[in-house]
Amino acid sequence: MGAFDKAKDKAEQLKGRAKEKVGDATDNHSMANEGRAEELKGKAKEEFHDFREEGDDKLHDAKERLTDDDRRHNERR
C-alpha cells in the first residue's frame, strides 16, 4: 500500500475518533455513532490494504522463485 493510502486510512480513523468524542461530549448519540462507524471504516480499509500488500509481496516472491528455478534449470542444459 502506498504511503498516501495509508495516510488517508489513518486520517479517516482520526476524523471518526474525533467525531465520536465530540458526539460523546455533547451527548449527541447520532454523531458519536457516525464517528465510530467512520473510524471502523478507516480501520477496515487499512486492514484490507495491508492484506492486499502482503498478498502482492507473496506473489512477487513466488514469481522470483519460479524464475530463479527456471534459470537454474536452463543453465544445467
Residue 44 CA to residue 40 CA, distance in Å, equals 6
User: Tens of pLDDT along 9-67?
Assistant: 999 999 999 999 999 999 999 999 999 999 999 999 999 998 998 998 899 988 888 88
Q: Are 63 and 23 in contact (CB under 8 A)?
A: no
On whether the pTM is more than 0.85, the answer is no
Angstrom distances, CA of residue 40 to CA of 6, 8, 15, 19, 34: 14, 13, 11, 12, 10
